[in-house]
Amino acid sequence: MMRADALVLFGATGDLARKKLFPALYHLAAARRLGVPVVAVAVSNWDDTRLRAYATEAVEAAKVEVDGTALKELADSLAMVSGDYRDPATFAVLARRLSETGAVRPVHYLAIPPALFPVVVQGLARTGLGCGARVVVEKPFGRDLASARELNRVLYEAFPERSIFRIDHYLGKEPVENLLVFRFANSLLEPVWNRRYVASVQVTMAESFGVEGRGSFYDGVGAIRDVIQNHLLQVVALLAMEPPVDAEPDSLRDEKVKVLKAMRPADPARLVRGQYGGYRDELGVAPGSAVETFAALRLEIDSWRWAGVPFFVRAGKGLPATALEAVVQLHAPPRLLFSPDGCQPRPNFLRFRLGPDDGVTPGEPPGRAPGGLRAGVRRPPAGLPAAAGRRLGGQPGPLRPPGRRRARLAGHPAAPRPARPGP
């Protein structure tokens, strides 16, 4: 497949572009790997100058050491197309801007709300901009199975399968990729990586902030569609999969598919949903919204390796800490040699930190070693309230959101909104 000669960025004024895409394009420019014009498309009534200032601010806010030459290269490569995605004139202007650059093999990156995916793809097809091009579709891919199939149908009308890239940007995080390295480059782990030694697996994405101005987007998605059914299920698959035959994408996908096929359908009785206090007051959120900002569920994988081992998955906003991690807890030892009589043995665990402070931390049971040295336990920082733990069939550590961020836990719909936030 030939290298693309332009990047078309739909949704260029949005949150994903500001936080992830413009900094990523800067890194490509700094590594001298960009080398193509970037045409931004958005509803915002911006010109090239405003776009370049926005991209510059996004890169500088990413807390990276900025190379002025590379940043200027990125800014100079940017061009703006403003217009409604439903208006054919928008795509006519886009076609003209691409023609001016001489591009014939563009990549169309859809960093837009999922409801607009079909609108944009059909607009590209009508103007012939899908011919020889590729398309990148961000998560979430549809709201359910029926909408995902319909989106596939629309994509196939404009692009062949080899030109369609359904991506989850989360998989590009180096700490997530390192899960594969840690598992399959270390023979030490393989003998204990199974139901005989592992008691449970906990995957957590806790965020101390709210929707941060993305209320209208988030209220149409919720925590489950936003991060659990993509980001966190991918982490579960990486932790549970068998060794692939090689490192090619198809081989990795095949092993992850086996995990998902072995996974039981999620049990609604083992699901907890909630909202942080004040969510319905956020800009763009419906006054009576029942969309969850917190969700936790228990999954079971009926494979020879993992049968009987619960996988706890949880994610939420407005929580007391920000933590992105996977904790693999081993079975407790039958007794401890260096503990007082009656002390209950506590299990070891491995914590995979998947955020900026990435790394692997082993945890040990408490006890006093000869010579007065003490080994301590570092418990997972973000657990669940006791009621939620009982509902999931486990007892992860406590989670007590402070003040107005206190979560309202519920089953299927969200709990009624209290008259006022807690103290």
Which residues are identified as catalytic?
A: 231
CA distances from 301 to 99, 190, 192, 202, 350 (A): 51, 18, 17, 14, 20
Please tell me the distance from the alpha carbon of residue 59 to that of residue 56, in angstroms, as a whole number. Answer: 5
Torsion sign (Cα): 370, 373, 378, 379: positive
Burial of residue 74, with CB atoms counted within 10 A of its CB: 0-12 exposed, 13-18 middle, 19 or more buried: buried
d(CA 3, CA 78): 19
User: Distance between CA atoms of 164 and 142, rounded to whole angstroms?
Assistant: 15
| Cα–Cα distances in angstroms (integers) from residue 270 to residues 97, 316, 412, in the given order | 52, 17, 11
* Of 86, 90, 252, 71, nearest in space to 179 by CA: 252
The structure tokens 């030109």 sit at 163
Task: Compute φ and ψ for 169, nearest 5 degrees.
Answer: -60, -20
